[in-house]
Amino acid sequence: MLSKNIEIALNKQVRIEAESSQTYLSMACWAEVNGLEGIANFMYAQSDEERQHMLKLIKYVNERGGHTKITDLNEPKTSYETFKEMFEALYQHELFVSNSINELVHITFDEKDYATHNFLQWYVAEQIEEEATAKNILDKINLIGDDKGGLYLFDRDIQQIAIAASAPAAK
């Protein structure tokens, strides 16, 4: 059974994951209308992944005797000056999510809710991966600079990341 404090904190994280999904969906739309098909596909995949993170939390809360409450969301940014600005925003957002997960883990530790603490370890590991991916992408963008040919190749490469991420895991 979840404490009220942990239920509230998990509900806050549900909202953050939902807003993450919407943010990345908005980024996908911006990329798509700007002819960046690979980036758009990557962002669509990221949006789907964030929704899955949200659903995993929802199920956990409800199964542990809590009640997940679906709330309104903040409207995401819909336009960017450059794709680099968009990926910088993505990286900053991932840092924000990591901080939120860390705060949540801290609450579970303080309340000695080791089941939820253990459940959240998946999110901790996931955020390490998300931050590393975003940082790696920014590093590549900085290498490209203003090279349009580099942007074309980057757009194709990032589409391959999206395809690989959505492929079923080998058994």
120/10 Cα distance (integer angstroms): 10
Q: Please state the rounded mean pLDDT for residues 25-44.
A: 96
Tell me whether residue 94 is annotated as binding. yes
What pTM did the predictor assign?
Answer: 0.91
List the structure tokens of 171. 């058994």
Q: Mean pLDDT for the chain?
A: 93
pLDDT tens track for 76-101:
999 999 999 999 999 999 999 999 99
Task: Judge contact between 49 and 2, C-beta under 8 A.
Answer: no
Domains of the chain: 4-166 (1.20.1260.10)
Is residue 67 marked as binding?
A: no
pLDDT reported for residue 171 = 41
Both tokens of 26, joined, read: 């908005």
Q: Does the annotation list 127 as a binding residue?
A: yes
